[in-house]
Amino acid sequence: MSLHGAINVVVTDVVTVNPLIKRFHFARADGEYLPAFSGGAHIIVEMQDGDMRRRTPYSLMSSPLDTQDYQISIRRDDEGRGGSLFMHREVRRGMKMRIGMPANLFALDQRANKHLMFAGGIGITPFLAQTAQLMARGGEFELHYGVRNRELGAYVDELEQRLASRLHVYRDDKGEQIDFDRLLSSQAPGTHVYVCGPAPMIEHVVARAAALGWPAEHVHFEHFAKAPAGEPFTVELRASGLTVEVSAEQTMLEAIEAAGVDAPYLCRGGACGQCETRVLACDGELQHADHWLDDDEHASNEKVMPCVSRFRGNTLVLDR
């Protein structure tokens, strides 16, 4: 039930950035500074949506140097579980909320001689924080940002002002495309690549980098994995002696937490491995939505990532 390092915050502003994106500003409810953090970090935002408690990760886009104000940007997703809709429709200035301590699963490699960054759409958010940190401490980087059009290109103006020639913007509506192959073929040793954006973009960059000889250790990416909604199902928590109902819009992890069981987690996006849970019995189909387990593990039905994955069938028993 515990939100790691929960901080009581108040929403100090809600800004419509464009027809799809809103930006939310948080300050500590007691007026103190928020914790310092590293660019690429995310916070878990807790939302009380009726009697459902949601916990969703969002990248911090604000500068790590300004810890009076945390900023996140959320793209409205009409098809999802409803978390972004809740934020867009229900959250207003002055509201009290709880957030978790910043955690970073998309950190810069501090050894890099140069950081080559690729952003698509809302994937720009972690780079806003990282470039702020790099500009302050020094560090060579380039940011290539693909947007649909000028209107939906969030923060282009701000980035142009701050980053000048380090920023390259590519507009879909003008047919501009990032030339990944050319960029990936022309980097000096010690360059690291970072990509955050829609899943197909990430997959493409990772595949091209590999094909062009880049070692995996130099390629970093973060999926904004959305835990999918689905049908309700039941799961037995053998170690806790409980049976839990997971509603259509709830993740398994949220349902486990709502039942009072303190399950481990970190990213809540299916990427970090911390919530990995042993499956003791499975009569039905596990719907894996994570990027952590490998294909064999998915097929074995012996493990599941409850932060994003679901189940359809008769019986699911977890070691939790």
Partner 1 sequence: MPGSQMTSASSTAEPSARSVTASAPFRDESFRNDFTFRNSPDTVLRAPFPFDQDAYMYAVNMELHRDGKAGTAFEEPIDVDEHYVSEMRDRALVLDEDPLRCQSLPHMTLAGWDTLELLMTSKAASYPDWFALTREGDRWHWINRPLGIDQHFVFGDETTLPYAPLEYITRQAQGDFCVLDERAGNLWMDAGMVTTQADWSLDFDIGMNFFEWHAPVPLAHELGIFERALKYLRAVQQGNPARRLNWTMTVNPRLDTSPENFHVWGPENTHITKDNVADKLFLRIELQSFWRLPRSNGILFPIRCYFLSMRDLSTVPKWAKRMHRVLKSLPPELASYKGLDNYRPIAIDWLAQFDDGSPTTPGPFPD
Partner 2 sequence: MSATIEPSIRSRPVYGTLAATDAPAHLMVADADGGAALLELTAAMAPAALMRAEILYVPLASTADHSEALRALDCPGFHSSPSIDALIPRLARSIERMKMGTQIYLAGSETLIGRAMQVAMQAGIDHQAIQTEHRGSLARRMQCVHCKGITENVTTQPADCAHCGLLLLVRDHYSRRYAAFQGVNINAEDPSDVPEKEELFP
- Which residues are at the interface with partner 1 (CB under 8 A)? 4-5, 35-38, 40-41, 64, 101-104, 107, 109-111, 133, 137, 217, 264, 266, 273-274
Q: What is the smallest separation between the CB atom of 65 and partner 1, expressed in angstroms?
A: 9
The C-alpha angle 175, 180, 186, rounded to 5 degrees, equals 130
Nearer to partner 2, 92 or 137 (CB): 137
| Residue at 114: amino acid letter | K
> Out of partner 1, partner 2, none, which partner does residue 36 contact, by CB within 5 to 8 A per kind?
partner 1
> Could you list the residues that contact partner 2 (CB under 8 A)?
111-113, 184-191, 211-215, 217-218
> Out of partner 1, partner 2, none, which partner does residue 1 contact, by CB within 5 to 8 A per kind?
none
Q: In whole angstroms, give the CA distance from residue 220 to residue 204.
A: 13
Nearer to partner 1, 103 or 183 (CB): 103
Q: In whole angstroms, give the CA distance from residue 83 to residue 86.
A: 5
SS3 160: helix
Indicate the burial class of 295 (C-beta count within 10 angstroms; 0-12, 13-18, 19 or more): exposed
Q: What is the smallest separation between the CB atom of 3 and partner 1, expressed in angstroms?
A: 11
Neighbours of 90 (CB within 10 A): 11
Q: What is the smallest separation between the CB atom of 39 and partner 1, expressed in angstroms?
A: 9
Length of the chain in residues, anyone? 320
Nearer to partner 2, 65 or 211 (CB): 211
Q: In whole angstroms, give the CA distance from residue 249 to residue 254.
A: 10
Nearer to partner 1, 94 or 190 (CB): 190
What does DSSP assign to residue 187? Answer: P
Q: In whole angstroms, give the CA distance from residue 166 to residue 77.
A: 30
Nearer to partner 2, 167 or 184 (CB): 184
> Out of partner 1, partner 2, none, which partner does residue 264 contact, by CB within 5 to 8 A per kind?
partner 1
Q: Tokens for 22?
A: 């809103």
Nearer to partner 1, 164 or 216 (CB): 216
Q: What is the smallest separation between the CB atom of 112 and partner 2, expressed in angstroms?
A: 7
Q: Report whether 153 contacts 73 (CB < 8 A).
A: no
Nearer to partner 1, 137 or 182 (CB): 137
Do β-strands 141-147 and 310-318 pair in parallel, antiparallel, or remain unpaired? Answer: unpaired
Q: What is the smallest separation between the CB atom of 243 and partner 1, expressed in angstroms?
A: 27
Neighbours of 253 (CB within 10 A): 24
> Out of partner 2, partner 1, none, which partner does residue 274 contact, by CB within 5 to 8 A per kind?
partner 1
Neighbours of 127 (CB within 10 A): 31
> Out of partner 1, partner 2, none, which partner does residue 211 contact, by CB within 5 to 8 A per kind?
partner 2
Q: What is the smallest separation between the CB atom of 281 and partner 2, expressed in angstroms?
A: 36
> Out of partner 1, partner 2, none, which partner does residue 137 contact, by CB within 5 to 8 A per kind?
partner 1
Nearest partner of 88 among 119, 130, 122, 65, judged by Cα: 122
> Out of partner 2, partner 1, none, which partner does residue 187 contact, by CB within 5 to 8 A per kind?
partner 2
